[in-house]
């Protein structure tokens, strides 16, 4: 794994107290078609993150299984949320005493599957689930041939260290209303697992969109991407002013930041943009 980026002073590994800094890690790697191998890689990333004080670890989209292009192998890899892979993630969360977020392929009714994120608590329970709303039918890809998009409902969130945490996936970041929809539900830390496909200007799109979502919503954003060949890497944690406080390059590894609700409070005191806005988000 690559060198680990850090910021701040590491707290203890126990569940952080309300208002205390939260150690958050974004972990990037290149998931493949072998679930056991992916779990082995995830374990190593979690170990590295926890050793540096993280109590919330964010993994990429499709962490369970990824082949390119998507196809019958993708469909065959799908599991229920209470299946073996998520159970193994829950066991890791219990072992290390952390919240853990990762992308899976979830079984669905009908011929397609869901591109789903799950959040596991330190007790190993699924505390939030998010099914990708905007499927990647762009740049020549057709994710919708294999995936069924999620239905729009009140977002599932979870709390940790004084933050309300929400989830969205990869291509969703191009749609500003998704992040605002989360913020309207009280979210102030947005997690973005991704498989951001490389291409012309795509690295700039990735970093710029993440920064803008943080700025316009005055929220923390933590994004975890695939490394090559499926993604561009560049996983990062961004503060509510759009400043990157921890980041990775193109190699597999973890970046750890320590963030506090007090920073959020101060930014919103200076820039009360959410209170001043005059428009809301209405689903189509």
pLDDT digits (tens, 9 = 90+) for 222-237: 999 999 999 999 999 9
**Structural domain total, the chain:** 1
Residue 14 belongs to some domain of the structure: no
Q: What integer pLDDT is reported at residue 87 of this predicted model? A: 98
Of the candidates 172, 243, 254, the residue with the CA atom closest to the CA atom of residue 3: 254
Percentage of the chain exceeding pLDDT 70: 93
Residue 32 belongs to some domain of the structure: yes
Each residue of 104-159: pLDDT tens digit? Answer: 999 999 999 999 999 999 999 999 999 999 999 999 999 999 999 999 999 999 99
Q: Where are the beta strands (DSSP E) in the chain?
A: 5-6, 22-28, 56-58, 99-106, 114-120, 126-131, 158-160, 163-167, 189-193, 220-224, 236-238, 244-247, 253-259
pLDDT reading at 4 higher than 80 = no
pLDDT reading at 270 higher than 90 = yes
Query: Helix, strand, coil % (nearest 5) of the chain?
Result: 30, 25, 45
Q: What is the mean pLDDT of residues 57-72?
A: 98
Q: What integer pLDDT is reported at residue 39 of this predicted model? A: 98
Centre a 10 Å sphere on the Cβ of residue 144 and count the other Cβ atoms it contains.
13
- Which of the 8 DSSP states describes residue 169? -
pLDDT reading at 8 higher than 70 = no
**Average pLDDT of the chain to the nearest whole number:** 94
CA distance 182 to 216: 13
Q: What is the pTM of this model?
A: 0.94
Residue owning tokens 């700025």: 215
Provide the domain limits for residue 232.
Answer: 20-269
**What is the set of active-site residues?**
61, 132, 170
Question: Residue 244 sits in a domain of what CATH number?
Answer: 3.60.110.10
Residue 90 belongs to some domain of the structure: yes
Each residue of 234-257: pLDDT tens digit? Answer: 999 999 999 999 999 999 999 999
Q: What is the mean pLDDT of residues 169-195?
A: 98
Q: What integer pLDDT is reported at residue 173 of this predicted model? A: 98
Which residues, in sequence order, are bridge partners of residue 28? 253
pLDDT reading at 17 higher than 80 = no
Over the range 58-85, which residues count as b (16 or more CB within 10 Å of their CB) and which as e? Answer: bbbbbbbbbeeebeeebbebbbeeeeeb
What 3-state DSSP class applies to 174?
A: helix
Residue 158 belongs to some domain of the structure: yes
The model's confidence at residue 31, banded by pLDDT at 50, 70 and 90, is very high
Q: What integer pLDDT is reported at residue 7 of this predicted model? A: 42
Residue 13 belongs to some domain of the structure: no
Residue 83 belongs to some domain of the structure: yes
Q: What integer pLDDT is reported at residue 20 of this predicted model? A: 80
Residue 6 belongs to some domain of the structure: no
């Amino acid at each position: 794994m690559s060198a680990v980026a850090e910021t701040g002073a590491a707290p203890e590994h126990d569940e952080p107290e309300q208002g205390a800094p939260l150690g958050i890690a974004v972990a990037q790697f290149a998931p493949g078609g072998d679930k056991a191998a992916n779990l082995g890689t995830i374990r190593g990333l979690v170990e590295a993150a926890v050793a540096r004080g993280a109590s919330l670890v964010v993994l990429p989209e499709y962490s369970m299984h990824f082949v390119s292009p998507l196809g019958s192998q993708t469909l065959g890899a799908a599991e229920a949320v209470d299946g073996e892979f998520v159970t193994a993630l829950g066991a890791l969360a219990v072992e290390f005493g952390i919240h853990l977020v990762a992308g899976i392929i979830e079984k669905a009714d009908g011929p397609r599957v869901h591109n789903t994120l799950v959040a596991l608590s330190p007790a190993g329970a699924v505390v939030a689930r998010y099914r990708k709303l905007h499927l990647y039918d762009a740049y020549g890809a057709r994710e919708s041939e294999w995936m069924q998009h999620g239905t729009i409902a009140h977002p599932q969130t979870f709390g940790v260290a004084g933050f309300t945490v929400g989830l969205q996936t990869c291509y969703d970041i191009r749609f500003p209303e998704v992040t605002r929809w989360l913020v309207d539900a009280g979210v102030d830390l947005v997690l973005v697992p991704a498989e951001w496909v490389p291409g012309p200007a795509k690295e700039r799109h990735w970093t710029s969109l993440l920064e803008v979502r943080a700025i316009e919503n005055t929220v923390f954003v933590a994004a975890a991407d695939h490394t090559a060949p499926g993604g561009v890497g560049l996983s990062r944690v961004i503060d509510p002013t759009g400043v990157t406080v921890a980041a990775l390059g193109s190699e597999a590894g973890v970046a750890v930041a320590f963030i506090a609700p007090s920073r959020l409070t101060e930014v919103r005191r200076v820039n009360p943009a959410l209170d001043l806005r005059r428009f809301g988000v209405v689903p189509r």
